[in-house]
Structure 1
């Protein structure tokens, strides 16, 4: 099976985020997977937003780990940082230069979420490849993923059991 996983650390600079976008796009393009220009654009934009959020809000050492993996007709992008603070959407005025990252990630991915790790958190987003995602007959379709809203955690998602299985396969416990 061809290599379909990319993992690396990103330093906390604007140039590093730009270089990470290029590295991701180049790697995914080399995997011989059905991905078009629109999907690469979405992947790069989501990666950029997730990396920037992680670097700006993680505190401590200004590095984050980035992972991109392929499985079941999906691309899964994850950013791991040392913060236990869950990202939240905010209201950005038209003059503000930031504050739209979570909204963009929400609009450009199939689904996304955050989970805690021993050393902080992992924020992830799932994008489809040009092929249909592989699923068993007893699994629920991706559009069955429901957002659960709570006053204290408005950005949390509930994932179907099928989605949780994909995530466990792609991101084993660390």
Structure 2
């Protein structure tokens, strides 16, 4: 459970080494959480989002570890987040047609319907995206 402004919310979280191989572990954690909560309709999007967020942290953050969290916000609604130890905000880039990288944040924005953001923390930042059906939608 994670304590939020609206009370404790069910969450799965894990600290991982800041290496490319951790992307697989992050996907596995998020997919496990979604299966337990019965949120299978957002599996593909959540898997891509956590992959992009963690890849950004691996490439651009500092220190040796990151924290991945999947938090159930309500019926049919989840937040996927990656915390790293850099206070530098991620910046969307314009990628050329022949470039293999630079589209990750655009993909996160698209898959989350624009429900994503960055929270600066005293020791780093949390980059998050919300997926699924918000109660007010």
TM-score normalised by L of structure 2: 0.84
Residue number in structure 1 paired with 2:135 = 134
Distance 2:102 2:40 in 1: 29
Corresponding residue SS for 1:18: helix
| Aligned residue number for residue 10 of structure 1 | 16
1:107 aligns with 2:115: no
Is contact 1:70–1:76 with CA below 8 Å preserved after alignment? yes
Gaps of 5+ in 2: 1-8
The answer as to whether partners of 1:75 and 1:126 remain within 8 angstroms in 2 is yes
Deviation at 1:68, TM superposition (A): 0.7
Q: 1:22 pairs with 25, 28, 33, which one?
A: 28
Where 2:21 maps in the other structure, the secondary structure is helix
Structure 2 match to 1:54: 57
Establish whether residue 121 from structure 1 lines up as the match of residue 125 from structure 2: yes
After TM superposition, give the deviation of residue 122 of structure 1 in Å: 0.8
Does 1:95 pair with 2:101?
A: no
Gaps of 5+ in 1: 136-140, 142-174
1:35 corresponds in structure 2 to: 40
Cα deviation, 1:72-100, whole Å, max 9, x if unaligned, reads 23100111111111111101112222111
Query: Larger RCO: Structure 1 or Structure 2 (Cα < 8 Å, ≥ 6 residues apart)?
Result: 2
Aligned positions, number: 127
Q: Is the 8 A contact 1:90 1:99 kept in 2?
A: yes
2:12 and 2:29 in contact (8 A); partners too: no
Q: Give the strand-richer structure, 1 or 2.
A: 2
Q: Secondary structure at the match of 1:14?
A: coil
RMSD between superposed Cα atoms in Å: 1.7
Partner of 1:164: none
